[in-house]
Amino acid sequence: MNNTSASGLDNCGRTLLPGDQDPPGDHPIHLVETICYPFLFLLCTIGNILNILILKKNRSKTTADIYMTFLAISDLCILWLFFPVWIRKIAFTSLPAVESSNSSRFHVAIYIFESGLYPGLMTIFYFLSNWIVVIFSLERLLVVHNPIYFLGRFNVKTAIIAVVCVALIGTLKSFQNFLDYFFWRVAGRPLNSWPTIRAARYLWLDKWAPVQGVVTIVDPILAFCILLATNSLLVQHYL
């Protein structure tokens, strides 16, 4: 987790705020993570790849095909992005520091990925996966509620546009993570002094940080509430 950011996601997609830390290296959760992840990695990789290959077969495409294909791709990205983090946790248990000039290239690569790229990319793909499901559910609700009006209005093109819009919003949502990490590295100062430097040099970024924190918390709650309401209405319709 990048502690320079105002907020972000942990390995399970849960919100982490400033000062929050992953469990210590001797915490039992790491043993579960070490043992279970390879099985999930293998199972989900094979399943999602098969899903993509089946949906890509030459036949008329539906909006469901588009949503399920992009959902599988997004889930694969989440799964594979955690792989180097899992390797690091087995090798080091904690994120290696690179302040020393003796740091190896491997340490530097792991540090840059996990501190800078990983939180932002995971934020994008978690957002994409969550809201693809939301949009797909809303589409089903509208079609079921008024099939004559909506059935012909949703097609492959509208589904692709919806996915692209969600991806763009997810990228915007994660932008603060990338900018925060970039300017911290440019400053070249210790991590614990970065909040003070950010407030002095980059006031706009410092003001963006609490907004990012609120958005990071509200986003999954909003997606859950919409999904709950949508599926409740669908169940009520079929009863």
pLDDT at 152: 79
Q: What is the pLDDT of residues 43-55, one digit of tens each?
A: 999 999 999 998 8
Across 70-103, b (16+ Cβ under 10 Å) vs e yields bbbbbbbbbbebbeebeebbeeeeebbebeeeee
pTM of this structure: 0.80
Q: How many CA atoms lie within 13 A of 162 on its CB side?
A: 23
Q: How far apart are the C-alpha atoms of 122 and 8, rounded to whole Å?
A: 9
Which has more pLDDT, 61 or 139?
Answer: 139
What are the chain's domains?
A: 8-238 (1.20.1070)
CB contact at 8 A, 223 and 134: yes
pLDDT at 119: 85
The pair of three-digit structure tokens given for residue 29, joined into one six-digit string: 């959760």
Which has more pLDDT, 186 or 30?
Answer: 186
Q: What is the pLDDT of residues 118-152, one digit of tens each?
A: 888 999 999 999 999 999 999 999 998 888 888 77
Q: What is the pLDDT of residues 171-220, one digit of tens each?
A: 998 888 888 888 887 877 766 677 788 888 888 888 888 888 888 889 99
Cα–chain-centroid distance for residue 206?
Answer: 22
Q: Which range has highest mean pLDDT (17-21, 62-66, 90-94, 133-137)?
A: 133-137
CB contact at 8 A, 198 and 164: no
pLDDT at 24: 58
Q: How far apart are the C-alpha atoms of 141 and 69, rounded to whole Å?
A: 20
pLDDT at 224: 95
Q: Interhelix angle for 156-187 vs 118-145, to 10°?
A: 160
pLDDT at 3: 46
Q: What are the helix (H) ranges across the chain?
A: 28-55, 63-91, 105-112, 118-145, 147-150, 156-187, 194-201, 203-238
CB contact at 8 A, 9 and 15: yes
CB contact at 8 A, 137 and 180: no
**Quick one: 222 exposed, middle or buried, by C-beta within 10 A (0-12, 13-18, 19+)?**
middle
Q: Which of 129, 128, 127, 152 is nearest to 139 (CA)?
A: 152
Q: Mean of the pLDDT values across residues 7-30?
A: 54
